[in-house]
């Protein structure tokens, strides 16, 4: 389970090997005993008292952890008791995906926790899928940075134009204030400038040019 996954220098480390064994090694404890946290135990163990755990059992647990990573919360944390969790899983219920999770990522961890072990992917396939998702995300972020840079350059040009516009208004205002008794109103002129800028920003938001609008 996730509490046994420790992060050291950005590298995940697995801890607590109390119930672990090598692939071809006979376990010193019964593989059917419900040791550990039920949230991460495959439902086959609840259905069949003679069920023998294998590598696909680990795939199921890893699928739960993948879901936990995206949701940021422990599975079934609102359950009232351990028995309630076991019964919930036994009935085939699982955690709901969190909004905003990539569809390919959801599909991956759902395959991992499939009721039928034969339908669960091999660890190597899981690794390749995650690498593919990370690469796509990296490319997407790079494209976003390039677009942001282009928008920033455009915003700088817009800002220069705005500065010229403001300077012209300042000049007009200073010439219009003829005396203490004849005051055209600097605040009125300043309000007009803000209104123009506000309209331009609103147009940018409407067109989806958020960075330019914030400038």
The secondary structure of the chain, three-state, reads: CHHHEEEECCEEEECCCCCCCCCCCCCCCCCCCCCCCHHHCCCHHHHCCCCCCCHHHHHHHHHHHHHHHHHCCCCCCCCCCHHHHHHHHHCCCCCCCCCCCCHHHHHHHHHHCCCCHHHCCCHHHHHHHHHHHHHHHHHHHHHHHHHHHHHHHHHHHHHHHHHHHHHHHHHHHHHHCCCCCCCCCHHHHHHHHHHHHHHHHHHHHHCCCHHHHHC
How many C-beta atoms surround the C-beta of residue 66 within 10 A?
20
Confidence (pLDDT) at 176? 38
Query: Per residue in 118-176, pLDDT tens?
Result: 999 999 999 999 999 988 877 777 776 666 666 666 655 556 555 554 455 444 444 43
Higher pLDDT, 153 or 112: 112
Q: Name which of 80, 93, 76, 209 is nearest 154 in CA terms.
A: 209
Higher pLDDT, 138 or 60: 60
Q: Name which of 83, 102, 96 is nearest 39 in CA terms.
A: 83
Confidence (pLDDT) at 123? 92
Phi and psi torsions of 8, nearest 5°: -130, 115
Query: Per residue in 18-30, pLDDT tens?
Result: 555 565 655 544 4
Spatial distance between the Cα atoms of 104 and 81, rounded to a whole number of angstroms: 32
Q: Which domains are seen in the chain, by residue range?
A: 2-120 (1.10.510.10), 152-214 (no CATH)
Confidence (pLDDT) at 103? 92
Spatial distance between the Cα atoms of 48 and 55, rounded to a whole number of angstroms: 17
pLDDT at 59 over 90: yes
Cα 61–chain centre separation: 20
Confidence (pLDDT) at 68? 92
Least confident of 99-108, 126-135, 142-151, 206-215: 206-215
Cα 112–chain centre separation: 19
Q: What is the average pLDDT across 28-39? A: 61
- Produce one character per residue of 191-202: b if its CB has 16 or more CB atoms within 10 Å, e if not: eebeeeeeeeee
Predicted TM-score (pTM) above 0.95: no
Confidence (pLDDT) at 95? 87
Higher pLDDT, 204 or 152: 152
Q: What is the average pLDDT across 103-108? A: 94
């Amino acid at each position: 389970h996730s509490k046994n996954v420790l992060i050291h220098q950005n590298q995940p480390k697995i801890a607590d090997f109390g119930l672990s064994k090598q692939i071809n090694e006979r376990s010193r404890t019964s593989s059917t005993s419900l040791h550990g946290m039920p949230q991460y135990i495959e439902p086959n163990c609840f259905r069949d008292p003679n069920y023998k755990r294998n590598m696909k059992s680990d795939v199921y647990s890893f699928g739960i952890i993948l879901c936990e990573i995206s949701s940021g919360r422990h599975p079934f944390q609102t359950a009232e008791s351990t028995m309630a969790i076991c019964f919930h899983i036994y009935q085939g219920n699982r955690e709901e995906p969190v909004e905003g999770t990539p569809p390919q990522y959801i599909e991956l961890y759902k395959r991992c926790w499939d009721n039928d072990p034969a339908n669960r992917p091999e660890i190597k396939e899981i690794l390749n899928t995650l690498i593919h998702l990370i690469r796509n995300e990296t490319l997407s972020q790079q494209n976003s940075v390039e677009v942001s840079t282009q928008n920033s350059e455009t915003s700088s040009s817009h800002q220069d134009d705005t500065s010229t516009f403001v300077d012209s208004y300042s000049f007009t205002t200073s010439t219009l204030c003829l005396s203490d008794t004849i005051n055209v109103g600097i605040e009125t002129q300043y309000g007009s400038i803000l209104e123009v800028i506000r309209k331009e920003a609103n147009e940018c938001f409407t067109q989806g040019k958020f960075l330019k609008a914030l400038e």
